[in-house]
Amino acid sequence: MTPDRKNRLFAVACVGLLLSGAAACTSEHDTGRAGELRAEQPTPTSLDRSGPDGASLPRPAPATAWVIFGADTVVAEIAQSEEERARGLMYRETLAENAGMLFVFPESSVRSFWMQNTYIALDIAFMDPSFRIVDIQQMEPMTTDSHMSRAPAMYALEVNQGWFEAHGVEIGDLPEVVFGR
């Protein structure tokens, strides 16, 4: 990754974090704490975050992940506990433009989501264990319609409705996913 791409990625992610309510954005070289620190950290492994010279690259804040589709990045809150997954984006009135929620499940299975008590129209991308998108669906707010994945999924990414189409994201795409520590 070139220094320009690394800096641009870091700047985009910082803006997204700040828009989604994080207190600050840090790189691994920073010694401060950013956002809400939680005892339970994401269990999935992320891609190697070392540059070609072995130097550490920036990482997302704790309890967040960057889901990178080429030049576009979603800054996603992580929902990995049963309670976090059940609550999801319920009761929220807004979601920043490049923000979302990444649901992390312990195993791959057909997944079902609904929009009860969710005020924001959303798109959902279901992803297999390698993060390849196996299905994308649009979900209307305040409905109890079941949105089942067309294939087993271990991850699901919710974003504002229309985001995937606007950014050219399709079934079969494989984003880079970087988890915070």
Rg (CA), the chain: 16
Give the pLDDT of residue 18: 39
33 vs 12, 49, 102, CA distance in Å? 19, 19, 22
Over the range 100-125, which residues count as b (16 or more CB within 10 Å of their CB) and which as e?
A: bbbbbbeebeebebebeebebebbbb
Residue 51 or 40, more confident: 51
Band (pLDDT 50/70/90 cuts) for residue 51 is low
89 vs 38, 84, 92, 94, CA distance in Å? 19, 9, 6, 10
Give the pLDDT of residue 147: 98
Residue 34 or 45, more confident: 45
Give the pLDDT of residue 34: 30
Give pTM, 2 decimals: 0.73
DSSP per-residue codes, 111-151: -EE--TT--S-EEEEEE-TT--EEEEEEE-TT----EE-SS
3-class SS at 85?
helix
Give the pLDDT of residue 49: 55
| Domains of the chain: residue spans and CATH | 3-179 (2.60.120.1140)
Sheet strand arrangement including 72-79: 133-139, 122-127, 153-160, 99-109, 72-79, 64-69, 176-179
In the chain, the amino acid numbered 168 is G
Q: Which tens digit of pLDDT belongs to each residue from 119-146? A: 999 999 999 999 999 999 999 999 999 9
Q: Which tens digit of pLDDT belongs to each residue from 7-26? A: 445 444 444 443 444 433 43
Give the pLDDT of residue 95: 98
Band (pLDDT 50/70/90 cuts) for residue 174 is very high
Q: Which tens digit of pLDDT belongs to each residue from 59-117? A: 999 999 999 999 999 999 999 999 999 999 999 999 999 999 999 999 999 999 999 99
